Amino acid sequence: MSFPPRAAAEPLTVMGAGLVGSLLSLYLARRGHTVNVFERRPDPRRAGADVGRSINLALSDRGWRALEGVGVAEAVREVAIPMYRRVMHDVKGQLTHQPYGLPGQAIYSVSRGGLNRRLLELAEAEPGVTLQFQQQCLDVNLRQRELHLRDAETGAEQHVAFRRLFGTDGAFSAVRGALQKTDRFNYSQSYLEYAYKELTIAPAADGGWVLEKNALHIWPRGRYMMIALPNLDGSFTCTLFFPFEGEESFAALPTPADVEAFFGRVFPDALPLMPELTEDFFHNPTASLVTVKCFPWAFGDEALLLGDAAHAIVPFYGQGMNAGFEDCTVLNQLMDQHGDDWETIFEAFQEQRKPNADAIAEMAVYNFVEMRDRVADPRFLLQKQIESKITAQYPGQWLSLYSQVTFSHTPYHAAWTNGQRQDAIMARIMPHIQRPEDYDRPEVQDLLQQEMTANPAVAVPA
Amino acid sequence: MSFPPRAAAEPLTVMGAGLVGSLLSLYLARRGHTVNVFERRPDPRRAGADVGRSINLALSDRGWRALEGVGVAEAVREVAIPMYRRVMHDVKGQLTHQPYGLPGQAIYSVSRGGLNRRLLELAEAEPGVTLQFQQQCLDVNLRQRELHLRDAETGAEQHVAFRRLFGTDGAFSAVRGALQKTDRFNYSQSYLEYAYKELTIAPAADGGWVLEKNALHIWPRGRYMMIALPNLDGSFTCTLFFPFEGEESFAALPTPADVEAFFGRVFPDALPLMPELTEDFFHNPTASLVTVKCFPWAFGDEALLLGDAAHAIVPFYGQGMNAGFEDCTVLNQLMDQHGDDWETIFEAFQEQRKPNADAIAEMAVYNFVEMRDRVADPRFLLQKQIESKITAQYPGQWLSLYSQVTFSHTPYHAAWTNGQRQDAIMARIMPHIQRPEDYDRPEVQDLLQQEMTANPAVAVPA
């Protein structure tokens, strides 16, 4: 993709230099714009910034496409770990597997901090980009087009004029806070009754991985679960998704001894691999899980929300970052189409993205049940095997919802509609199937043929 | 009902002295509490306060019960106008009627300002109540239990400590704003694409009413509507519910001539009765219609939201004030049950009221379609006649949703569940009915009998 250099008519302002803000700044700069970026936190590339904890994310096709759009995908791929399958750990430590897609298809574990730093370096290397860190946004005056910022280090406050503001300042966005004060702004924030806490599986003594490296590990326990993603240093970052309150909950584990006993009982194969368990458990935050929806995302041709600021979702589909990165791809396409007609660009962006953001928000909540409960069910694993057979037999007419979301660029809302159709068909097919071989029985094949004819796919995934 | 006087252990603080805040203060004071009340607006009883516009509301059984609880119902009834039926005005000015309930049942048009002033007078007459007006709430510090207030007249700011805070400060509640900053606060604000504007039908030259006095008038026009409620002075307050934008919308009527032409075309019988139409139209606000939902409503035993602050709804069921008043009735019952155990009272209050608030919020949106569109449909009016016959034939087993909401104390969520059941039955009965007499046909009676047996009422309305 080429970026026609353009007269920098007016500087653009980006509030928030996290993953989406830094990638967006890069896209805007490559189009010839002057871009002023403000970020609340310290520069993550500076010594002393919080690089202690290793947080990783699953990058999939939508994210890769956005990185390719600014030529950074190859560099990121070198430090990404492909995960080809789910590995489920039961309470006895026995393992089962489920491939994510076709052979060779994978989601990629990447370091959040490392990716953010890489994008910031690239953005700063562009001539038009200025980054300012530790700038807390106290207020956004949309009508007067002015930011009120406070330097967290010096305490100095400044008022900064803007012409066009991109709000990429995350789930608790200050830019969205300003939009929320305008009339007829639809908004919701909705919390799960669950918290998450990051924990660590240590590397082996030789620096290798103590669990299968190229997999996402899940300890599904019905009402809760733990997952683990590999890091380059041989460790895994685990995340425990667990109720805030109740019989089995964070509130029910007040002491290190409680935590050890609980892990020994429900995650017995993981406990010996987690030497820092109780330290992590009582040091790391118990964080809440929120879904944020709002509309409109644009304020005239003056401000636009992207990423978590527009659509924060829960992490169970591994799509938060990918959806935010896809926002950058889509905005870039619209800039190609509409030139400097920002009002049209903003309007088209929100009309196109809003239904997709709503769909992935729903799917993310839905997938929590699948991950913590259904993946432990032999019937579910059998259904996944049958689904692979259907995909092979009806190419272009059937693709698992997971693959549509993860390995395609089908708009999320089309994927979700298709997924619901496929779910309904599976619910009618599966009662006739007890073993994988039953799939080839004539009555199953006849029924499937009828269903495929009666319920054609809504959109063929790209 | 008796109010056992009680040692005033600690003063209670009420933020907001609108309808719900003033009634709540009265309830609390009658129980022997010291009550400090703060209100953002000027005292509505003072000369110069905005008493020019005559806004009225429909008071129904839930509201009356709450007023009876503090002995004020009779005084209010003297200045309330019963409305026994809907009168629909078609585009030719022809009228049809639909009774709201049984003979003698009515909803009551009351002046919002008059009712608020009356409740404030009664509250102020209680020894323990202090009212402070023009106190804008800048901030609520829940953990330090402190209000930050600014006097709108003098500009003086003060910090006021509280022990227990009741947030009755309306749809844009400052107390709710403080709760919203706590973790895991679920919140949504959702706007209709419609606005409303208040207009006036003038009294007759002799001071009488130019339309039927004891009725609520509706001009249903499919995608929009106007309604009118009677005032004591012979006028009617009209409300136009109309899209913000589009072919027929506020945006499409920019000039007085446009407004006159539009009213002449779609409300021809009303236009000659509205001498101040264009003045009202361009002077009165074009106001938006929001539904606010949130949870929790309580913060420990320290703060509780009631009324619109907890559950603002659109006005199409005439239940906003009634629901807020019912909050006072329920809170008072819980204070009877649990004494000074405020944590239990607050917890029980939100658990009991939240599903009911959600139900009336849904019904209010649903009723907009009924009022603006379905009431103009002869089939709908026929269905209402049939429903009256069923109610008479199956006492205790069938009551129209409207009557359950308006003329009963059945919890809103039970009413809504019953209403949906009845809707489903009507949808199966009505295809067999072309005229009221068809109701007595044996096949209709048999079908109805089967349906009533197969789908028993969820809860018998009280």
Q: Provide ipTM, 2 decimals.
A: 0.81
What residues of chain B lie within 8 A of the CB of A250, using their CB? none
Q: Identify the pLDDT of residue B1.
A: 44
Q: Identify the pLDDT of residue B276.
A: 96
- Give the list of residues 6+ apart from residue B121 with CB closer than 8 angstroms, or none: B45
Q: How far apart are CA B188 and CA B288, in angstroms?
A: 16
A305 and A398 housed in the same domain: no
| B182 reaches A (C-beta below 8 A) | no
Q: How confident is the model at residue B235 (pLDDT cuts 50, 70, 90)?
A: very high
- Give the list of residues 6+ apart from residue A373 with CB closer than 8 angstroms, or none: A220, A222, A223
- Residue B372 included in any domain: no
Domain end (from A367, A400, A428):
A367
Domain end (from A328, A343, A367):
A367
Tokens of A426: 């599976």
Q: Are the Cβ atoms of A188 and B185 closer than 8 angstroms?
A: no
CA distance B185 to chain A (A): 7
Are B306 and B324 in contact by the 8 Å Cβ rule? The answer is yes
A310 and A417 housed in the same domain: no
**Among A290-299, A366-375, B98-107, B168-177, where is mean pLDDT lowest?**
A366-375
Position B459 pLDDT exceeds 70: no
Domain end (from A324, A346, A367):
A367
Are A290 and A312 in contact by the 8 Å Cβ rule? The answer is yes
Chain A's closest residue to B290, CA to CA, is: A184
Percent of chain B with pLDDT over 70: 95
Name the average pLDDT for chain A: 93
Q: Identify the pLDDT of residue B9.
A: 65
- Residue B356 included in any domain: yes
- Give the list of residues 6+ apart from residue B194 with CB closer than 8 angstroms, or none: B224, B241, B242, B243, B244, B289, B368
- Across the interface, of B183, B187, B191, the residue whose CB is closest to A288 is B183
What residues of chain B lie within 8 A of the CB of A244, using their CB? 184
| A182 reaches B (C-beta below 8 A) | no
What is the pLDDT averaged over residues B225-238?
Answer: 96
Position B6 pLDDT exceeds 80: no
What residues of chain A lie within 8 A of the CB of B188, using their CB? 187-190
B330 and B400 housed in the same domain: no
- Which residues in B211-231 are b (16+ Cβ under 10 Å) and which e? bebebbbbbbbeebbbbbbbb
A296 and A151 housed in the same domain: yes
A422 and A329 housed in the same domain: no
A126 and A30 housed in the same domain: yes
- On the 0-12 / 13-18 / 19+ scale of CB atoms within 10 A, A430 is middle
- Residue B7 included in any domain: no
CA distance B288 to chain A (A): 7
What residues of chain A lie within 8 A of the CB of B187, using their CB? 187-189
Determine how β-strand B95-99 pairs with β-strand B85-89.
antiparallel
Q: Identify the pLDDT of residue B109.
A: 97
B71 and B129 housed in the same domain: yes
- Across the interface, of B183, B188, B288, the residue whose CB is closest to A188 is B188
- Residue B96 included in any domain: no
A64 and A185 housed in the same domain: yes
- Residue B5 included in any domain: no
A360 and A393 housed in the same domain: no
**Among A3-17, B77-91, B319-333, where is mean pLDDT lowest?**
A3-17
Domain that holds residue A411: 377-454
Position B2 pLDDT exceeds 60: no
A342 and A432 housed in the same domain: no
| A450 reaches B (C-beta below 8 A) | no
Q: Identify the pLDDT of residue B370.
A: 87
What residues of chain B lie within 8 A of the CB of A288, using their CB? 183-184
Chain A's closest residue to B190, CA to CA, is: A186
Percent helix, percent strand, percent coil in chain B, to nearest 5:
40, 25, 35
List, for chain A, all residue ranges whose pLDDT scores fall below the cut of 70: 1-9, 47-54, 458-462
| pLDDT tens string B410-451 | 999 999 999 999 999 999 999 999 999 999 999 999 999 999
How far, rounded to the nearest angstrom, does the alpha carbon of residue B113 sit from its chain's CA centroid? 14
Position B59 pLDDT exceeds 50: yes
Position B49 pLDDT exceeds 60: no
Name the average pLDDT for chain B: 93
Chain A's closest residue to B180, CA to CA, is: A189
B127 and B176 housed in the same domain: yes
Q: How far apart are CA B273 and CA B201, in angstroms?
A: 5
| B189 reaches A (C-beta below 8 A) | yes
Chain B's closest residue to A291, CA to CA, is: B186
| pLDDT tens string A316-375 | 999 999 999 999 999 999 999 999 999 999 999 999 999 999 999 999 999 998 888 888
- Residue A277 included in any domain: no
What residues of chain A lie within 8 A of the CB of B189, using their CB? 185-188
How many separate domains does chain A show?
Answer: 2
| pLDDT tens string B202-214 | 999 999 999 999 9
Percent of chain B with pLDDT over 90: 89
Are A225 and A184 in contact by the 8 Å Cβ rule? The answer is no
- H/E stretch holding A410: none
- H/E stretch holding B135: strand B135-141
B236 and B126 housed in the same domain: no
- Residue A408 included in any domain: yes
- Residue B50 included in any domain: yes
Query: Residue A152: which CATH number?
Result: 3.50.50.60
Work out the number of other CB atoms within 10 angstroms of the CB of residue B78. 6
| B288 reaches A (C-beta below 8 A) | yes
User: Chain B window 234-263: which residues touch A at a Cβ cutoff of 8 Å?
Assistant: 244
User: Chain A window 86-105: which residues touch B at a Cβ cutoff of 8 Å?
Assistant: none
